[in-house]
Amino acid sequence: MRAYASIFKIRFINTMQYRTAAYAGVITQICFGLMYVFLYLAFYKQGNIPENFTATQMVSFLWLQQMFFVYFFPIDQNKNIVGQIEQGNICYEMVRPMKLYNNWSVTLFAEKVAKTLLRFVPVLIFAILLPTGVGLELPASAGAFFLSLFNLIVSGLLIVAMNMVCYCLLFKTMSSLGIFSIYTTIASLLGGSLIPIPMMPGWIQNILNFLPFRYTSDLTFRTYVGSIDIQSALIQTAIQVGWLMLFVVLGKVLMNRCLKKVEVQGG
C-alpha cells in the first residue's frame, strides 16, 4: 500500500510541473465554455426545453464540464504505458514486486487528479463570477453537493478502470494509432460530453442508461445541478459503483491473461 501511495505522490508531483500547458488549457476551457453556453442558450430560445434540464441547470452543467474537462476525458493516453506495451519495456515492470494493474491504475489516477487540480480553479472562479443566467450556480442542495462529490471520485476511478481494459486490448493490437481516438469520440458521444444527454431523443437516452459511459460526467454534473433528484441519483450511484467493480474485475482478469502470454524478445 505504501508503495502505491508513493507512486501516486511521484506521478502527482511530476504532472504538477507542467504548469504552462495547464494555463493554456484554462484559456481554452474558458473560451469553449463561453461558446457552448451561448450556443445552447440560442437553442433554448426555440422552446421545447427538456423538462428535467432548465436553462440555468444547463449552463451550470456546461461550466462543470469545462472545469473537469481533463478529469472526465474518456482516455488518458499515457505515453509511458503505451510505450511499455508497444516496445516491450514492460518486462522491467513485470520483475518489480508489485501488481502491474495497481501500478498503472494509480499512475493514471494520480496524473488525472494533478492535471485537474492545475486547471479547475481558474475556470471555477471565472464561471462563478459570471452573471446569473450565463454563470455557474450553487449546487441544488447540500445533499446533491455531497453526492455529486462522491460521484466525482467514483467516476474518476471508473474511467481509469475502463482505460485499463483498453490498455489490455492494446496488448493484442500492439498499436495505439486510431483506436484511442475512435474510443474517445464514441465514449464522448455516449457519455454526454458532446451534447448533454437530456437534449438527446428519448430512445437514445433509454439505451444510454444501460451503458457505462453516462455514469461518469453526466451523473456527477446532473446530480450537482439537480437535474436528477436525490432519490434516483442514489440508485444511479449504486449502478455506478456496480460498473466500477465490474470493470475492475474485468480489467484484472484480462491483464492476468495478457501477462501470461507476453513474449519479450531479447535486445
Partner 1 sequence: MLYFKFLKMHFKKLLQYRLSFFLSLLSQTIVSLVALASMYFLFDRFKVVAGWSFSQVAISYAVVYFCFSFTECFGRGFDRFAKLIQSGGLDSFYIRPRSIFHQTLCSEIEFSKMGRVVVALAVLIYACAIQPFTWGIDKVAVLIGMLLCGIVIFFSLFMLGASMCIFTIEGLEVVNVFTDGGRELCQYPLNVYPEGLAKIFTYIIPFASFNYLPMMYLFDMPGATVWGHALAPLYGMLIIIPAYFIFRWSLTKYKSTGT
- Report the interface residues with partner 1, using CB under 8 A: 20-21, 24-25, 27-28, 31-32, 34-35, 38-39, 42-48, 50, 175, 177-179, 181-182, 185-186, 188-189, 194-195, 199-201, 204
- Shortest Cβ distance from residue 181 to partner 1 (Å)? 4
What does the alpha-carbon distance between residue 181 and residue 194 come to, in Å, rounded to a whole number?
14
41 or 250, CB closer to partner 1? 41
Count helices and strands (H / E) in the chain: 11, 0
Hunting for cell 446530480 — which residue is that? 223
What the block records as the C-alpha cell of 259 is 501477462
- Shortest Cβ distance from residue 139 to partner 1 (Å)? 26
25 or 212, CB closer to partner 1? 25
- Shortest Cβ distance from residue 184 to partner 1 (Å)? 9
Is residue 227 within 8 Å of 57, Cβ to Cβ? yes
- Shortest Cβ distance from residue 231 to partner 1 (Å)? 26
For residue 75, the SS3 value is coil
Is residue 167 within 8 Å of 179, Cβ to Cβ? no
What does the alpha-carbon distance between residue 81 and residue 248 come to, in Å, rounded to a whole number?
18
Question: What's the number of CA atoms in the CB half-sphere (13 Å) around residue 85?
Answer: 23
Hunting for cell 442558450 — which residue is that? 41
Q: What is the DSSP letter of 198?
A: G
- Kindly state the greatest CA–CA separation across the chain: 65
What the block records as the C-alpha cell of 79 is 505515453
91 or 186, CB closer to partner 1? 186
Residue type, 267: G
Element (DSSP H or E) covering residue 82: helix 79-87
- Shortest Cβ distance from residue 165 to partner 1 (Å)? 19
42 or 95, CB closer to partner 1? 42
27 or 264, CB closer to partner 1? 27
199 or 259, CB closer to partner 1? 199
- Shortest Cβ distance from residue 235 to partner 1 (Å)? 26
